[in-house]
Structure 1
Amino acid sequence: MDLFHETPEQQQLRKSVAELAQRYGLEYYVEKARLNEDTSEVWADAAKAGYLGVNIPREYGGQGAGIYELQIVSEEFAAAGCPLLFLPVSAAICATVLMRSGSDEQKKRWLPGFADGSARMTFAVSDPAGGSNLHRIAAHARRDGDEWVLSGRKVLVSAVDLCDAMMVVARTEDPVSGKPRMALFIVPPDLRGVSYERVPMALTAATGQFDVVFDEVRLPAGALVGEDMTALRDLFTSGLNPERITFAAWSTGLGRFAIDRAVRYLNERRVWNSTLGAHQGLAHPLAEAKINLELARMCVHKAAWLYDNGQDNLGEVANMAKFAAAQASIKAVDQAVQVFGGHGMTERSGVGIVYSMVRVAHLAPVSREMLLNYVAQHTLGLEKSY
């Protein structure tokens, strides 16, 4: 593809994903969320169709495509009102990190399962001590013979109850200099010493958030991701940027969902001998929301293209895409609610309930403020502020 035209294969993927997602929709998703149940039926169907492994190499059972295709999958499920919040975590972070830094054994163990939906892995980085500030992470791992011993806590870890393993960021010591450094470990949640507790959330989501405690958890040497502990460096280039891109697509999909609902209502509702859509007070703000959403989508597509083509300025554009998508989707949902008036906050409108979903886009997987810090420092060349 180029930056403005999707290939016939990408267009077909978008159409096929949308058709599958629309078989479920918002009502199904909300019911699952309220029952604290997993959207297992959607996940299984998406896996069967090859959507979960679209970016995984064919030799591991995937489709051999890229992050552009993965963000298509993320966007279209969200646009149907059935967002797969866990997709950016398992497929975008964990899978890409293992593809780049994992050992042959780790790739053979996990990538085929990611592709066929039989395995899931979540990502644990935020510490109570310093949030996502890697310099303040307190969770640590020490060598003990051929094993690692992991201790510490992580907060707001997605879907621990549904996962076969967590990819955990922890402090270690350089074996030569003794200086502190960071490393990644694969940790199954059923190991002795691992405990977790669900955190009540003001969020309509079928994926729970958990606080996790590691109490002297013993890990085999093969739990370390990356030789010589280089995986953390690769995490930023191969893991966090795809997560930002895929999550940004998730956001724009929800924005599309809200605008589509609002447009349908504006075309159906008649007052004063005309449809509501004929009134500029409602039509113009919604048109502006649509424009901003399309601009954000262009930025997301550019970031995905840059990643798949190995371009150097990926980090800058991925952060911009994440910021723009969150801004545009929040405004789109807000305007959609305004279109419905008081009915916008009823369940039957289908837009008010999306508020909490899109609002989280300014908080996770990285906050709006940290995105602005990145652009200020790396794009504008301003002095680092933290």
Structure 2
Amino acid sequence: MTTLLESHEHKSLREAVSAFARSHPRATGPAEARRFWQEAGKLGYIGVNLPEAYGGGGGGVTELSLVLEEMGAAGNPLLMMIVSPAICGTVIARFGTEEQKRTWLPGIADGTRLMAFGITEPDAGSNSHRITTTARRDAATGDWLLTGRKVFISGVDIADATLIVGRTEDARTGKLKPCLFIVPRDTPGFERRQLDMELHATEKQFELTLDDVRLPADALVGDEDAGLLQLFAGLNPERIMTAAFGIGIGRYALARALDYARERTVWKTPIGAHQAIAHPLAQAHIDLELSRLMTQKAAHLYDAGDDMGAGEAANMAKYAAGEACVKAVDQAVHTLGGNGLTREFGLATLITAARVARIAPVSREMILNYVSHQTLGLPKSY
């Protein structure tokens, strides 16, 4: 599936990723997902957005979102694609020191190293201004001491490090400002607890506790005074990639439903010939295609350096894709009836997975708030 916005190179990349992903069975466990990840990394798909100087493909979020969409459409929507290369890789590539780039980017690009991202807190979900994880300097050593809690953090157990969003105190104003720190997995005081999730996914979710975690001065990514600029450099790609994640899942579910509707015969006619079946599937396809166009627009704006325009488009793309994904999965299951809930057809687990695209990393209600006051100029309700 290609669009007029895609170049010949993008179409070729899409076809190659699709062929690769479809040649692998669906990853139903961590070991299978890890093998798929490693093979994708060897082929250059994981780090297609990262600089060539550090082992990447030299592309952008446009190419990376295309890769994730095709993986999802083939039944392997890897959540860590959103986290490791898109958020962490982008932030380090844009703001990291030369040493941080040399240390982390080649491994992230070829899939041999993973990085998780820790922003959400128990009392600071959608409101990043309420983050209470704080970092203070040890005057004697120059080290950072990081204390706080995080929740719903993906893949911490398989990640070599986590990019933690903390806050430091501004010496001039006394106010807290966001900063980013690389915390290696086995750092003393950095504890994790796996959350018991109904979500069926190869990546696990964790609650993190940081108890005076001591980090060297060079664990800080970028400028201590840059604040939200560096944070949103990672959050816009996160929204774009989540949209691609949802579109891929939606396409996979829709394809399973179409196959079934063409073959399942009742009263001598395939059920897909009936408009009650055909029209909802057609609507699902239209919604997915429209959300793909907005996702591509957001990715192009981000790669062109238009952070303001990309922020608006990324939120809209994430909203549209989340809604389209949920509707496509629901209609696919409904098309198959009882078969849609069996393991054989592999759709039932997507019912909860589709909700990820709607809920995370920002709820649809917060996106509507954003569009209301940022795009339409309406007063804030909060």
Q: Is the contact between residue 97 and residue 231 of structure 1 (CA under 8 Å) also seen in structure 2?
A: no
Distance 1:242 1:271 in 2: 46
Secondary structure of 2:377's aligned partner: coil
Q: How do residues 65-80 of structure 1 correspond to structure 2 at under 5 angstroms?
A: 65-80=59-74
TM superposition shift of 1:134: 1.9
Q: What do the CA deviations read for 1:62-103 (whole angstroms, capped 9, x no partner)?
A: 110111100011101100111111101111111111111111
Question: Which amino acid is the alignment partner of residue 83 of structure 1?
Answer: P
Distance 1:379 1:80 in 2: 35
Q: How do residues 280-319 of structure 1 correspond to structure 2 at under 5 angstroms?
A: 280-311=275-306, 312-319=308-315
The one of 213, 238, 246 equivalent to 1:251 is 246
- 1:175 paired with 2:171, answer yes
Of stretches 250-259 and 362-371 in structure 1, the one that deviates more from structure 2 is 362-371
Q: What CA RMSD, in Å, does the superposition of the two structures yield over aligned residues? A: 1.5
- TM-score (structure 2 length as normaliser): 0.96
- 1:275 is aligned to 270
The one of 93, 103, 108 equivalent to 1:109 is 103
TM superposition shift of 1:352: 1.9
Distance 1:25 1:338 in 2: 24
- 2:185 is aligned to 189
Of stretches 121-130 and 48-57 in structure 1, the one that deviates more from structure 2 is 121-130
Of stretches 122-131 and 81-90 in structure 1, the one that deviates more from structure 2 is 122-131
Q: How do residues 155-166 of structure 1 correspond to structure 2 at under 5 angstroms?
A: 155-166=151-162
Structure 2: unaligned runs, 5 residues or longer: none
Question: Which amino acid is the alignment partner of residue 41 of structure 2?
Answer: A
Distance 2:224 2:207 in 1: 29
Q: What do the CA deviations read for 1:287-323 (whole angstroms, capped 9, x no partner)?
A: 1111111111111111111111223411111000000
Distance 2:285 2:23 in 1: 25
Q: Is the contact between residue 184 and residue 232 of structure 1 (CA under 8 Å) also seen in structure 2?
A: no
Secondary structure of 1:196's aligned partner: strand
Question: Which amino acid is the alignment partner of residue 56 of structure 2?
Answer: G
Structure 1: unaligned runs, 5 residues or longer: none
Q: What do the CA deviations read for 1:22-73 (whole angstroms, capped 9, x no partner)?
A: 12233xx22x0xxx55611011111000001100111011110111100011
- 1:126 is aligned to 120
TM superposition shift of 1:183: 0.9
- 1:223 paired with 2:219, answer yes
How many residue pairs get matched? 378
Q: Is the contact between residue 244 and residue 322 of structure 1 (CA under 8 Å) also seen in structure 2?
A: yes
Distance 1:138 1:5 in 2: 42
- 2:236 is aligned to 241
Q: What do the CA deviations read for 1:243-279 (whole angstroms, capped 9, x no partner)?
A: 1111101100110001100110111111111111111
Q: Is the contact between residue 164 and residue 181 of structure 2 (CA under 8 Å) also seen in structure 1?
A: yes
Distance 1:330 1:117 in 2: 30
- 2:53 is aligned to 59
Secondary structure of 1:229's aligned partner: coil
TM superposition shift of 1:111: 0.8
Distance 1:351 1:228 in 2: 46
TM superposition shift of 1:335: 0.6
- 1:6 paired with 2:1, answer no
Q: What do the CA deviations read for 1:318-355 (whole angstroms, capped 9, x no partner)?
A: 00000000000110111111111121111112222211
Question: Which amino acid is the alignment partner of residue 257 of structure 1?
Answer: Y
Q: Is the contact between residue 3 and residue 305 of structure 1 (CA under 8 Å) also seen in structure 2?
A: no
- 1:208 is aligned to 204
- 2:85 is aligned to 91
Distance 1:179 1:278 in 2: 63
Distance 1:55 1:244 in 2: 15
Secondary structure of 2:168's aligned partner: strand
Question: Which amino acid is the alignment partner of residue 147 of structure 1?
Answer: D
Secondary structure of 1:347's aligned partner: coil
Question: Which amino acid is the alignment partner of residue 13 of structure 1?
Answer: L
- TM-score (structure 1 length as normaliser): 0.95
Q: Is the contact between residue 140 and residue 170 of structure 1 (CA under 8 Å) also seen in structure 2?
A: yes
Percent identity between matched residues is 51
TM superposition shift of 1:231: 5.4
Secondary structure of 1:203's aligned partner: coil
Of stretches 174-183 and 59-68 in structure 1, the one that deviates more from structure 2 is 174-183
- 1:342 paired with 2:338, answer yes
The one of 261, 265, 268 equivalent to 2:260 is 265
The one of 320, 326, 330 equivalent to 2:322 is 326
Secondary structure of 1:296's aligned partner: helix
TM superposition shift of 1:11: 1.0
TM superposition shift of 1:135: 2.1
